[in-house]
Structure 1
């Protein structure tokens, strides 16, 4: 079986071109891949989190079946967390807050994977909301992730006459402008369906082979990594302003926060991009929460 492997054991690697192409196909997200030619039989993408841990997603083509795994430090092969057919149903392999924590750490390490974005779009079906979650916030983050899927759109061809028409044909109705294709990969109906944080029926975490200890260790390390960020370098100087934003729920001072970080010498691309115009509210929210050392969701729930 031919395979496309997206990553080695260590470090950040670009998302493979095959997955980039698939992510621009609406059918890939809705369970009906339209064109799998020239793609590997098995596509494996690795999302390194930290300290040698990584979340591994394997996609079989053309069926679209997906397997989520956890790779441990000093191990080359992942332990399976869950499996699902292309259109679901998906197992509850991850708690939502576990995925949210890992996605934030991944985004901090790799500016090409902002949050909410491709990581959340791919893995959130394996992390359904539970009664303990803030369901509107979960739905809002998932929606933002699917809306972040954008494709290049060529400029529309000229629709007017090539030369000055006769007076009778000068009205716009004679030269209708063709509808411009949407840069969004998914239409509104698909986004709404995919964003619904319905509960999974397959509770794989009850199985004896589920790697509870390894997953708990990863999440513990990721949480500590995020908690330590506001106490590092220039972030300590801007923490009061970040706290003010989380307390009020008003994103207006984000521009001032960005300016203060830049003036203090911050050059972290993920941090700066999340706070830059055009502002994506939920992306700015998690970054401000992290810089403030606030509980995840403190600011976000004001904007969903």
Structure 2
């Protein structure tokens, strides 16, 4: 990898996204490469996403330790203030609802001709956004898919077409979907909403934004959102947007077949003297349908996402469901890396079938006869998508092939934590 520490530039390199998304094999390969180079210090990749008036966001990624930090920039503070972080241990990634991420990405793209929306900024910051209830997947899915498509090409187009969405989109959805876990938003300090979770039995909220927090920079975050809203609203104050020809073209663009009329809208805007390069490019040369859609929404003043949903239709994720499972494998009499081998094979088969993934997440040990510690068992976390019985059959078949089904224990990770029989895969 190059030594350029610009995170946005590095995101275009082959192999970056598995590393950024904490793929264990990518992290191991990175560590080996760094050993050969004998680096003097840990590498930190940075990206800043400015609005104006000193407001913006700063993202830092330390690939060597799998750590990502998101901070807000504000004119009244000399230092960027962390709003959340993600790692593999004590993460607090639940920073904002989808609506705020969507707002900020649009506003930054509006100010920066070199940035596109949906694009790398959205893909990079998705890990800090989550679903809590009421979000429209018809709106969200096309934007997330387009963001990952802009940031990296699909390596497995067959898998993408089977699922209807990119694998990265589905991974984000499964990881950050907290709907149904009793998330509550309320007005807090400085007009900034706070978030609380009343049910801790399912997917859990880890956020600095809770009402009693003295760590979250509420005032700075409120200022950032307010300025982003102002910048988007200001587009419609241009007299060119209110000319009859533009208004007529906008009216035709906001319907279900509106994407057929964006070229005429771009022409009408140019003739009326509208000079905003970002929006004109989004209409005349969109890299995805969703890019032209958000430009139409901004110009027409419609609710964000309504045109996206109208043009792109029903989300493939509508009605989707996933299950988190725990698989315990006794270690007695097994090779040292038995669990890793099982996880690798199982994850590959689940992935190929479009059913999910598996990974080793821990182990237990007991005191041996000589007073030392002996590995007792290994734990795998599994995610099964949409078809639980089929996923269980895949698990059972693979374990039986390794003579491990009789002693393995498969359970749900959510209440009531039921045990799942490892049935004969032929039944």
Do the aligned partners of 2:126 and 2:172 also contact (CA within 8 Å) in 1? no
Do the aligned partners of 2:139 and 2:306 also contact (CA within 8 Å) in 1? no
Aligned partners of 2:87 and 2:94: how far apart in 1?
Answer: 14
Query: CA RMSD for the aligned pairs?
Result: 3.0
Do the aligned partners of 1:143 and 1:195 also contact (CA within 8 Å) in 2? no
| 1:271 counterpart residue number | 279
Asked which structure has the greater RCO (Cα within 8 Å, sep 6+), the reply is: 1
Do the aligned partners of 1:53 and 1:70 also contact (CA within 8 Å) in 2? yes
Aligned partners of 1:249 and 1:215: how far apart in 2?
Answer: 37
| 2:113 counterpart residue number | 111
Task: Find the partner of 2:60 among 58, 61, 75.
Answer: 58
Q: Structure 2 vs 1, CA of residues 183 and 275 (structure 1 numbering), >3 Å: closer, same or farther? A: farther
Q: Structure 2 vs 1, CA of residues 129 and 261 (structure 1 numbering), >3 Å: closer, same or farther? A: same
Q: Structure 2 vs 1, CA of residues 218 and 242 (structure 1 numbering), >3 Å: closer, same or farther? A: same
| 1:46 counterpart residue number | 48
Secondary structure of the 1:45 match is strand
Alignment of 1:242 onto 2:245: no
Which structure has the bigger radius of gyration? 2
Alignment of 1:232 onto 2:238: yes
Render the CA deviation track for 1:131-157: whole Å, top value 9, x for unaligned: 032234223322221111246xxxxxx
Structure 2: 5+ residue runs without aligned partners?
161-165, 179-203, 314-427
Identify the range of structure 1 (54-63 vs 282-291) with the bigger mean alpha-carbon deviation: 54-63
Secondary structure of the 2:215 match is coil
Render the CA deviation track for 1:187-232: whole Å, top value 9, x for unaligned: 7434432354523621321122211222112111211221121121
Do the aligned partners of 2:109 and 2:115 also contact (CA within 8 Å) in 1? yes
Aligned partners of 1:92 and 1:243: how far apart in 2?
Answer: 37
Task: Find the partner of 1:27 among 7, 18, 40.
Answer: 18
| 2:227 counterpart residue number | 221
Between the two proteins, the alignment pairs up a number of residues equal to: 263
Do the aligned partners of 2:49 and 2:56 also contact (CA within 8 Å) in 1? yes
| 1:194 counterpart residue number | 172
In the TM superposition, residue 183 of structure 1 has moved relative to its aligned partner by: 10
In the TM superposition, residue 31 of structure 1 has moved relative to its aligned partner by: 1.0
Q: Structure 2 vs 1, CA of residues 81 and 264 (structure 1 numbering), >3 Å: closer, same or farther? A: same
Task: Find the partner of 1:205 among 187, 209, 213.
Answer: 209
Structure 1: 5+ residue runs without aligned partners?
7-14, 152-180
Alignment of 1:258 onto 2:266: yes
Please, what TM-score do these two structures have when normalized by structure 1? Answer: 0.75
